[in-house]
Structure 1
Amino acid sequence: MSSYDQLYPNCDPDVWLRSCELEVEKPIEGEITGEMPSWLRGTLLRNGPGSLKVGSTRFEHLFDSASLLHRFAIQDGIVTYQCRFLRSNTFNKNRAANRIVVTEFGTKAVPDPCHTIFDRLAAVFNPGEAMSDNAMISIYPFGDEIYAFTETPVIHRIDPITLDTLERKNLADSIAIVNHTAHPHVMPNGDVYNVGMSLVKCRIRHVVVKFPFNEKGDMFQRAHIVGHMKPRWELHPAYMHTFGITENYFVIVEQPLSVSLLGVVKNQLADAPLINSLKWNPEHETQIVLISRKTGEEVKRYRTETLFYLHIINTFEQDGKLVVDLCAYKDAKALDAMYIQSIETMQSNANYADWFRGRPKRIEILLDAPQFTHFDATVLVDYGCETPRIHYDLYNGRPYRYFYAISSEVDVSPGSLIKVDTMTGEVKTWSNVNCYPSEPIFVPAPNAKEEDEGVLLSALVWGSNRQRAVALLVLDARSMREVARAEFITPSPAPKCLHGWFLPERA
């Protein structure tokens, strides 16, 4: 199809359809343009879809692609790059069989004649071991250990220098959960919180789990439930990818996208994809549930419009209000847009851009309002954005002004990085032709006095004419002007990544 026939000529779907064929185990040095800040020293780790192919079979959804870890090491103005596949059980099984043998979020495995109905029935009671452990969403630190995450209870410890997969950990062995979000919260003192689903007194509950920081011990051994709430629909709990935290509350946004527990069991028995268990309920509003950080009990519920979301930008309390900022969509079609067939045919799909037509919205809740009071969700800026980040260390759960994101406007500016001033509504952007940045991560300058005093780090890939090019971009966070970049040529195609974490070099 020529560019004249394309509905979205500024968007190249190839960046999501690539499969890395050769890992970069030994660090390669990048070609620097501009000048790296002398104070910028550390490691940017990234995670995301790495390969859609296993032998002659192919995954059907982007969330199923084999996890590929990336490492950009910055020191003394020099930047190096590596990438390695996460050696999950799923990855190893698929590679050994040279075909897809583990059913994923959106892909049914090739039938295994040795896998009986009794095996699948037993697997229902052990989801951490039965489901795919392909942790290709995010990366988070637990103390001085680094883990790759997805939404099943299995996480993988990785070596932040070599990207080796060191350990597979099923959190269900430490705490009674059957899943968790892919985005826990790391607190300034090192404690980690996450929201999961658990069976409490024979009933399904959303629970908040605390992993207390411990310099000398295992944070997982000390994990315990510190909050809980009853799902709006007990057999159809809401799908959750992120949650919020403030000074006094855990903030749970119960959207109308639900997970049928009966459907999960049926799909497990039929070896069918998990996405078949999801149901969009447009007749229901979204609920915001507050759980007390002091007592662990549900405090109150509020209502807002029907919306779908993946990522919360920030939540905080101020002047008797609770503020919830998130990237909101009118429905859950964004998940359909990530089917591989949808991506391949996007240029002839007039509805595709609308599927991703999200907006950053703010919900301001009066904390003394009665239970189930409705509060409108207002648009912060008329600009589509996703994978939002803030000055996390100092402003997570606190009043803040700026957030950074990538554009989700498929038909306008899909290769833009965005800075939003939530106070004035001003938007600053950065973009290059045919260039596709990843989630921007804010790194504060030493002794920074202002919220946006620092740099943004983003991994870049290019469209189909530069499949093997990857770069680390450094932007001035105040002006969104390019400070420096390090460019690399990889031995095989470089796919676009999702989420990551910056580990500053410690003195």
Structure 2
Amino acid sequence: MAACKENLYPNCDPTVWLRSCEEEVTEPLEGQITGEIPSWVRGSLLRNGPGSLQVGSERFDHLFDSSALLHRFAIHDGNATYQCRFLQSNTYKRNQAARRIVVTEFGTSAAPDPCHTIFDRVSALFDPGESMSDNAMISLYPFGDEMYAFTEGPVIHRVDPVTLDTLGRRNLTQSLALVNHTSHPHVMPNGDVYNVGMSLVKGRLQHVVVKFPFTEKGDMFERARIVGSMKPRWPLHPAYMHTFGITDNYFVIVEQPLSVSLVGVVRNQLSNKPLARSLQWYPQHETHIVLISRKTGKEVTRYRTDTLFYLHIINSYEQDGRLIVDICAYNDAKVIDAMYIKAIESMQSNADYAEWFRGRPKRVEIPLDAPRLTRIAPRLLAGLGCETPRIHYDLHNGKPYRFFYAISSDVDVENPGLIIKVDTATSEIRTWCDADCYPSEPVFVPRPGAKAEDDGVLLSAVVRGAGDPCAVALLVLEAATLRELARVMFRTPSPAPKCLHGWFLPERV
């Protein structure tokens, strides 16, 4: 990366997002521990995220295109080990075989294949699961005793939670006619899984809710079915969705004014252009919050709120005749532009860059007896940037809750590498940071038998800045206070990139 003439954000090191892992860690790597991991913390913290921007001499243009890299921190008897493996998607294998980018990604155009005719490209429109990239580098979620890597395309990959081997792939276009789905399904206490996607329903593209019923025997995917649907506000411009909410009675769909132009998708598919060119931001339109009944599967009502962009819903729930939706909100969708590689490289001389990432956690509190399309203004939950939010998920997902945990999205603050705890009842904020450390999403693990909502630990994968690119650590914090309990430091054989989302799998007794 070329040196910048200016240094507008001296405390933020963007190189943590620009690294490429050059050597997998297939055998568990021992680390150096400081502090003490509570003896009851036993299991695997699994992570997913961008692993390599390079394919041969070529480079991806957007962070979302980076080859998926899986990580495992295995915690046992007060210590931990580390592994990492590349997800063996079809896209990854094709790129590696050719030593160049041969599949067009979210923000990167592949070189045109002279063997593919216009007829091939037209045919590909009807099978997006096979024609689109299947580079699932966003998240990991369990379906019963199986673990799957997700992105927003219709293909998910089963991975071995111990070895990180890629065990297989499922194309949900073929089984459920899903064109896409969110990267963040909801896993219910009984093991059922729900997700929201786009599907053809009676010849029209609709937002649909899919249920994957838990079963100890058999296949959750074979039993999957659509349990809810709604028409997009704009039929040819459905809203872009990365997450959704679920409460006791409703599926909560936040229909934002960042849309996917269906005409643009077709045009870009035929011309081999990236999906990002199909996204359109409409600042003149408000955001809608749509409720789909969990009983009937039909849209019940919708409400209006400010024009905003979001990636993550913190939580949603019903209480005392009100619907509460907590969300990490931005004024516009510039944060997607901020994740282009050239934008990251030039951020230190871009005076607007900090504003592109100026998200804030906000609450929309809606009386459920309010008339349809009532406008509800959001209120601020905390005056600092929060992203990749997590809660005490097992007990409080879709239920009243008090605390959430996040990392900072502010690049122009004294400590950009914050872990943040927000008390939504009192507005109290706690933070953790350490010099030149950049943590990932903090995952809450409850103490066995705990009664308090925040009685447990937070687990986070931490990388260091440009001066130490081959260091990665498992950080263990006391969730109540954010006091550091332990850190296990690993030396990796090649650069360790910053990861995005993950899941904690407790050790089976």
Task: Place the TM-score, normalised by the shorter chain, in its bin.
Answer: over 0.9
Per-residue CA deviation, residues 305-356 of structure 1 (Å, 9 max, x unaligned), is 0000000000000011000000000000000000000000000000000000
Counterpart in 1 of 2:411? 410
Per-residue CA deviation, residues 162-211 of structure 1 (Å, 9 max, x unaligned), is 00000011012221211100000000000000000011111111000000
Conserved? CA contact 1:123–1:129, under 8 Å: yes
Counterpart in 2 of 1:82? 83
Per-residue CA deviation, residues 378-401 of structure 1 (Å, 9 max, x unaligned), is 111101110000000000000000
- Separation in 2, partners of 1:151, 1:38: 37
Q: What are the within-5 Å matches in structure 2 for residues 206-245 of structure 1?
A: 206-245=207-246
- Separation in 2, partners of 1:148, 1:199: 24
- Separation in 1, partners of 2:476, 2:153: 33
After TM superposition, the score normalised by the length of structure 1 is 0.99
Counterpart in 1 of 2:175? 174
Conserved? CA contact 1:470–1:490, under 8 Å: yes
Residue identity in the other structure for 1:259: V
Conserved? CA contact 1:44–1:503, under 8 Å: yes
Per the alignment, in what secondary structure is the counterpart of residue 92 of structure 1? helix
- Separation in 1, partners of 2:238, 2:64: 21
After TM superposition, the score normalised by the length of structure 2 is 0.99
- Separation in 1, partners of 2:289, 2:245: 10
Per the alignment, in what secondary structure is the counterpart of residue 235 of structure 1? coil
Per-residue CA deviation, residues 439-462 of structure 1 (Å, 9 max, x unaligned), is 000000010010000000000000
- Separation in 2, partners of 1:444, 1:129: 40
Conserved? CA contact 1:190–1:213, under 8 Å: yes
Per-residue CA deviation, residues 143-170 of structure 1 (Å, 9 max, x unaligned), is 0000000001100000001000000110
Counterpart in 2 of 1:451? 453
Conserved? CA contact 1:43–1:74, under 8 Å: yes
Counterpart in 2 of 1:426? 428
Per the alignment, in what secondary structure is the counterpart of residue 176 of structure 2? coil
- Separation in 1, partners of 2:405, 2:389: 6
- Separation in 2, partners of 1:428, 1:4: 35
Counterpart in 1 of 2:495? 493
Identity %, equivalent residues: 74
- Separation in 1, partners of 2:153, 2:147: 17
Per the alignment, in what secondary structure is the counterpart of residue 465 of structure 1? coil
Q: What are the within-5 Å matches in structure 2 for residues 321-360 of structure 1?
A: 321-360=322-361
- Separation in 1, partners of 2:498, 2:377: 35
Counterpart in 2 of 1:197? 198
Deviation at 1:119, TM superposition (A): 1.0
- Separation in 1, partners of 2:333, 2:113: 32
Asked whether 1:55 is paired with 2:59, we answer: no
Per the alignment, in what secondary structure is the counterpart of residue 228 of structure 1? strand
Deviation at 1:5, TM superposition (A): 3.4
- Divergent runs of 4+, >2 A: 1-5
Conserved? CA contact 1:3–1:9, under 8 Å: no
Residue identity in the other structure for 2:431: T
Which ranges in structure 2 are unaligned for 5 or more consecutive residues?
Answer: none
Asked whether 1:397 is paired with 2:434, we answer: no
Per-residue CA deviation, residues 214-243 of structure 1 (Å, 9 max, x unaligned), is 001100000000000010000000000000
Deviation at 1:80, TM superposition (A): 0.3
- Separation in 1, partners of 2:79, 2:373: 54
Deviation at 1:418, TM superposition (A): 0.2
Q: What are the within-5 Å matches in structure 2 for residues 138-157 of structure 1?
A: 138-157=139-158
- Separation in 1, partners of 2:476, 2:88: 30
Residue identity in the other structure for 1:489: R
Per-residue CA deviation, residues 110-162 of structure 1 (Å, 9 max, x unaligned), is 12111221111110010010000000000000000000000011000000010
- Separation in 2, partners of 1:220, 1:2: 50
Which ranges in structure 1 are unaligned for 5 or more consecutive residues?
Answer: none
Per the alignment, in what secondary structure is the counterpart of residue 267 of structure 2? helix
Asked whether 1:504 is paired with 2:509, we answer: no
Deviation at 1:465, TM superposition (A): 0.3
Aligned length: 507
Counterpart in 2 of 1:464? 466
Conserved? CA contact 2:381–2:424, under 8 Å: yes
Conserved? CA contact 2:440–2:461, under 8 Å: yes
- Separation in 2, partners of 1:328, 1:101: 35
CA RMSD of aligned residues (A): 0.9
